[in-house]
Structure 1
Amino acid sequence: MAESKGNVVYACFVILGLGTLLPWNFFITAQSYWDYKFREVPADNETISSTERTSLQTLYVPMQVCFSQIPNFVFLFINSLYSDRIPQRIRLLTSLTLMIIFFAITTALTQVNTDTWQTGFFIITIIIIFLINSSGAIFQGGLFGVAGLFPERFMTAVMSGQAIGGVFASAARIISLSVGAADAISAFIYFMIAVVVMILTICCYIFMSKTEFFRHYANRQAHEKNNAELVEKLHTETQEEGSILAGYFEIFKEIWPLGLSVTGVFFFTLAAYPVLCVKILSTAENNSWANVYFQPVATFLLFNTGDWIGRVLGGLILWPRRGSKLLYVLVASRVIFIPLFLLCNHSESSSIPSVFAHDAWYIFFMLLFSLSNGYCSSLAMTYGPKMVSENKAEKASSMMASMLGLGLLLGGVSSFAFGLIS
């Protein structure tokens, strides 16, 4: 019976993980929609023949990266510091509710003609990106904190759910391409699905939090935490404000190798994906594959599928074992994918030679790249909370999430430099 309840809670953690990244994956997948919204609008009886991108189209991607990754890291870090100040339930439900509201606004705007006020729409979009990622960081940090209280496989459930979100979004993009749906209609469908998934996520969390299995682990952690606080009060009568940071660094000293590992995993990933990958061209003679499906399938769908498989395998195999330096070697070795992708087939104007021109090379590199991303990140996130005592597990998990956010931020920033090189 307990095992059955554990499986139900495990499924809820998968859906909660899905809810953390699926909305943002749809936001990125709808890139053609944003290009449409910020296109050059022709005057009456006028045809535009220029293929050059507008200033808003060019500005959108770097602004999206900036106003998504910076608040994501900042709020993950704040959450790791003060996670014990605000009840977990309030943090998760409030942040999810805010995400639903912001996505509902984004969904409604797909049906609004913004051609006459593109600059205003651009500003509103960037503000929404900032707010969605701020709320999402609070939710993600809180979710990792909760998962850290449970056995190792439950952290894998969250990681797997996140990867499934990427697979789902990539598959939706390919389907929309195959049916020839208009950009605005595709975006409306994407965002509506995201809203529905987030509503489902709230329902799953509320249901899960009422189960005996969930309460067993949550209450056990609370009991350990209260005991630790009682012991501490025997030694000190007052608690200085600086003790927050002191406690933070005490935990950091125990988990920093794994924290830096997850930072490294996502730094190398974001440095190459998608900025280098989307510039790689197919050498296939089939025009439909080369011009329409190559990037959606060989880049986005393959990466997200490999990432998901890697995360699942990481939770099942758990090798290298916790504390083994081999894991750090595997993480560091992922830097090799940056030059490998640079040497794949780019446009003729690129100054870098196309050593690995055939599509098969790129697909092979992408498969290894995605599998290693999922596998290494899953191991690091799973081992991190287990390096500390149970009363510190939630905070350690939140800290690991903030290190993950740091990797995304640093990788996103470095991607601009690698993008210029290619």
Structure 2
Amino acid sequence: MDENLSRGYCQLNSPQVGRKWKGGISSRDNITPPRDPCSCVYLSLVLAGAGFLLPYNSFITAVDFYQGRYPGSTIIFDMSLTYIVVAFVSVIINNALIEALRMPVRITFGYILSFFTLMMIALCDLWLQLFTLDVAYFITLIAVGVVAVGSTVQQSSFYGYTSMLPKRYTQAVMTGESLAGVLVSTNRILTKALLRDERLNTVIFFGVSIATLVACFVVFHVSRRSNFVTFYVTLCQGNSERRDDKRKRLTSRPSYTEDVSLVDLQDQAGGPRYGVLVIQSPATTPSESNRAFQPEEQSALTHAPSLTTCDDEAHLTETADIIFSKTNNYTVTFSTWSAIKRGLITRYEVSRSVWPYMLSICLAYFVTLCLFPGIESEIISCRLGTWMPVIMMAAFNASDVVGKILASIPHDWSRARLVLCTFCRVLCVPLLMLCTTPRIHPVISGEAWPIIFSLLLGLSNGYFGSVPMILAPTHVPDEQREICGNIMTLSYSFGLTAGSAAAYALDYLLDPITGSVRDRCSTLTPDLNATTPIHVTQFLSTQLPV
């Protein structure tokens, strides 16, 4: 035996299975998280939230330009529906590809897509005017659809990203969404006030939006490399890795991973033979181990030649390759289906935990899209002219920011009460509809009441559109937070889509659109000076009637 060992008899042991987490951090470790100095990460996420909704807001906030360019059309309704439908499809695709592309790649893709789309519209359509009106209308809707793809990929990814951070950072992104509307509205008011040329001030308006988008892109990539973000992202990813390792250990076949050795066996003549490969598990005896293999694999073992020296190591390796190649082929065949099944099961489990929040955010944005921007853009003011839709959108966006800031204040919302309060927002629909019908002599007349209702709609949208998104990730494990963020975004997109479609039904109930604001007001009074859109200096000195 000693002579045989000196000639190379040995034992083959499998390496210990185990993975060390890259960050070296465990959720059970007593480690103090790094701080967010001067709330730099928080502010960067506010700006990031503004960045992915800024392109769409740029289109709809230029409502005065597009209504003047396409009088009598439903251009704002068409933009809204195009954006929402494309966004809904995009968020479904993004949920399917969440594990195929890394989060920074998805967000960068969205920024680049939005940047080139806005550049094309500003230069080719607005400045150079290379297209006819009919073609330009079609190209505008295509541009809105392309922007929807980029924005939705970013939005879904950002919510998954912030779900791995403390919950106040989810509220930061939501505040940024509203801030996008405020920034764009301020941009539009200034450009419209300083320049009377509608085409020129709209080109400058889009140029400022493009510059802001670039700033958002740079700030995001700087902040995501901070120690604060790295700590929390690594923590959540580490929990996920440990869960996957545990699943692999539980589902792996012990007969292939436990012990591979050269053992002594007796041949038929009763003499000892050494070097026959046997793969066995501690749970089975040597005599039982052969039954763990398929017939072909067992045959490969049974007929393995007797090995007496390390000169026969090549034959030993070839025999082992036959066994493991069959196992690998079996594994590859079912790996794709197992991944899909595991993903669906995970999403189902997350949905069961957060479905009240999914319903709340769906209801919140359904009501909002029924009225904004479509119905609000149809409210006519012969006194304010083309300023009226701009002011209405500015009022909504400003109050939306306030609502999302209020959502950061901790409050113990029960699930039922949250859903009920969100549903009560339906009352905003008849109130704003009474401000638009009939077109020239609405039931609720004047400029003040529509603005007040728009403020109420924005305030409630900001609050009840944020609270469900903030609370939902707290009801799932850390490793499922990114998926939770994507599922909540899917519910959000469903509410947007349904609300945008319902806006067409509400618009159908109104009188048909005929001509521009000036044309509609001319039927009310022959004094055309009263129907001419006032300039900003006149507007600021005007006392709005109640």
Superposition TM-score, scaled by structure 2 size: 0.68
Matches within 5 A, 1:398-413: 398-413=486-501
In the TM superposition, what whole-angstrom CA distance separates every residue of 1:310-346 from its partner, at most 9, and x where no partner exists? 000001x232x25442111110000011111122364
Task: Identify the residue that residue 44 of structure 1 maps to in structure 2.
Answer: none
How many equivalent pairs are there?
393
Match of 1:134 among 134, 137, 149: 149
Q: C-alpha displacement at 1:2, in angstroms?
A: 4.1
CA distance in 2, matches of 1:261, 1:112: 45
Query: Is 1:330 the equivalent of 2:330?
Result: no
In the TM superposition, what whole-angstrom CA distance separates every residue of 1:168-219 from its partner, at most 9, and x where no partner exists? 2122222233234322212212221222122112211211121111100110
Q: 1:112 to 1:79 in 2, by over 3 A?
A: same
Task: Identify the residue that residue 86 of structure 2 maps to in structure 1.
Answer: 71
Match of 1:113 among 129, 148, 167: 129
Query: Is 1:188 the equivalent of 2:280?
Result: no
Larger-gyration structure (1/2): 2
Superposition CA RMSD, Å: 2.3
Find the residue that maps to 1:3 and give its secondary structure.
coil
Q: C-alpha displacement at 1:139, in angstroms?
A: 0.9
Deviates more, 1:241-250 or 1:28-37: 28-37
Find the residue that maps to 1:325 and give its secondary structure.
helix
Letter in 2 for 1:112: L
Q: 1:35 to 1:81 in 2, by over 3 A?
A: same
Q: C-alpha displacement at 1:152, in angstroms?
A: 1.2
CA distance in 1, matches of 2:62, 2:88: 23
Match of 1:204 among 211, 216, 219: 219
Q: 1:242 to 1:3 in 2, by over 3 A?
A: closer
More helix by share: 1
Unmatched segments (≥5 aa) in structure 2:
1-32, 253-334, 511-546
Deviates more, 1:242-251 or 1:386-395: 242-251
| Conserved? CA contact 1:255–1:384, under 8 Å | yes
Q: C-alpha displacement at 1:292, in angstroms?
A: 4.5
In the TM superposition, what whole-angstrom CA distance separates every residue of 1:222-254 from its partner, at most 9, and x where no partner exists? 101101112222344552533322222121111
CA distance in 2, matches of 1:278, 1:202: 30
Task: Identify the residue that residue 42 of structure 1 maps to in structure 2.
Answer: none
CA distance in 1, matches of 2:339, 2:115: 38
Task: Identify the residue that residue 397 of structure 1 maps to in structure 2.
Answer: 485
Task: Identify the residue that residue 450 of structure 2 maps to in structure 1.
Answer: 362
CA distance in 2, matches of 1:265, 1:341: 16
Q: 1:419 to 1:59 in 2, by over 3 A?
A: closer
Task: Identify the residue that residue 265 of structure 2 maps to in structure 1.
Answer: none
| Conserved? CA contact 2:114–2:150, under 8 Å | yes
In the TM superposition, what whole-angstrom CA distance separates every residue of 1:244-269 from its partner, at most 9, and x where no partner exists? 22222121111111011111101001
Task: Identify the residue that residue 468 of structure 2 maps to in structure 1.
Answer: 380
Q: C-alpha displacement at 1:293, in angstroms?
A: 3.6
Letter in 2 for 1:171: T
Letter in 2 for 1:318: P
| Higher RCO (CA < 8 A, seq sep 6+) | 1
Deviates more, 1:407-416 or 1:364-373: 364-373
Query: Is 1:318 the equivalent of 2:350?
Result: no
Q: 1:383 to 1:176 in 2, by over 3 A?
A: same
Task: Identify the residue that residue 12 of structure 1 maps to in structure 2.
Answer: 44
| Conserved? CA contact 2:60–2:76, under 8 Å | no
Task: Identify the residue that residue 273 of structure 1 maps to in structure 2.
Answer: 372
CA distance in 2, matches of 1:75, 1:332: 27
Q: C-alpha displacement at 1:401, in angstroms?
A: 1.3
CA distance in 2, matches of 1:345, 1:268: 17
Q: 1:192 to 1:271 in 2, by over 3 A?
A: same
Percent same amino acid among aligned pairs? Answer: 22
CA distance in 1, matches of 2:108, 2:439: 51
